[in-house]
Amino acid sequence: MTPPSAAARLDSAALPLPEKKLVGRTAPARADRPFRGIALILASTVFLGLSDVTSKYLSATLPSIEIAWIRFLVFALVMVPAMLPGLRLFALRTARPGLQVMRGVALLGSSLFFISGLRFLPIAEASATGFVSPLLVTALSIVFLGESVGVRRWLATAVGLIGVLIILRPGSSAFNPAAFFPLVSALSWACMLIMTRMMSGREAVMTTMTYSSIVGLGILTALVPLVWVAPSWHDIVFGILIGVASTAGQWIVVLAFRYADASVLAPFSYTQLLWVSILGFLVFGEVPDVWTVTGAIFVVASGLYTAHRERLRRSQLVLLEAEPSPNA
């Protein structure tokens, strides 16, 4: 569900950190080992792709809210050691509780809308549409982060949006209104990334993930009785698989970006589209049509160029201590 290239922002979005004492646990120092990072990001795409395919499989028998609830339940259980005072991993101390809660809501929205879309859409189409989230970050960063976005990155964003239009084909007989679900999911994920940037350097990754699990599980626990369908043991097993695969995939992404820059790993993160297409064919007999493939090429190309310009922009900020280039 989550593009690893977008998830990269969780651990790599910070510019030089402010000289102040951090709250809670801090992340280990970053090491420059690109091949290890590439191997990890490739592994993450397998887990995340497996989570997406399993979510689509379960959507035939369980409501989206219930599927998401099982996923966040597993996520929260994994994060329990970070919730208990006195343990070495305790990570609930935060200087930004309101922002942590809003970020958790955005993460939940991204997951819930994506799973809802999977019920009606081919998985390759939904996944390709979801990869537009890094481009939406470009637009949101102007409003919320005060960043300067130049002509080149705007053009890259436009190319990516054209790719989405090619995939969805609004106005044609092939258009499915359910396509708005992965679009809203991508927007929610982009909002989550913006809030992650706002906390970057001030909140530890463990703290952020712990709050995300608590917020998501809390909201879904309130909602799931409204749509509850008694799951079979078969459903429970696959639900646990979703939670484990998704949580493992996100953790591996965080580890990967401790070994290499986003611009190095971004090309490999898009292999998630390959995995979901293969699994979609094997499990559901879905074959991506030429429109989905063509649109995905546009989205991937624009995402790669955006990552490239981001790398150049950050190099200029660090080395020159100047404002971003107008063509960044």
CA 26, CA 42: separation in Å to the nearest integer? 25
Residue pLDDT, tens place only, 197-247: 888 778 888 898 899 999 999 999 999 999 999 999 999 999 999 999 998
The angle formed by the CA atoms of residues 204, 208 and 210, to the nearest 5 degrees, is: 115
With residue 245 as reference, give the H or E element that holds it.
helix 233-256
- Tell me the helix, strand and coil percentages in the chain, rounded to 5: 70, 0, 30
CA 49, CA 34: separation in Å to the nearest integer? 22
Give the DSSP letter string of 132-195: THHHHHHHHHHHHH-----HHHHHHHHHHHHHHHHHH-TTSTT--GGGHHHHHHHHHHHHHHHH
Band (pLDDT 50/70/90 cuts) for residue 265 is confident
CB atoms near residue 80 (< 10 Å): 12
Q: Is 60 helix (H, G, I), strand (E, B) or coil?
A: coil
CA 108, CA 126: separation in Å to the nearest integer? 17
Residue pLDDT, tens place only, 60-119: 999 999 999 999 999 999 999 999 998 888 889 998 999 999 999 999 999 999 999 999
pTM across the whole model: 0.80
φ and ψ at 54, to 5 degrees?
-65, -35
**Quick one: tokens of 96?**
């930004």
pLDDT at 78: 92
The angle formed by the CA atoms of residues 86, 80 and 23, to the nearest 5 degrees, is: 55
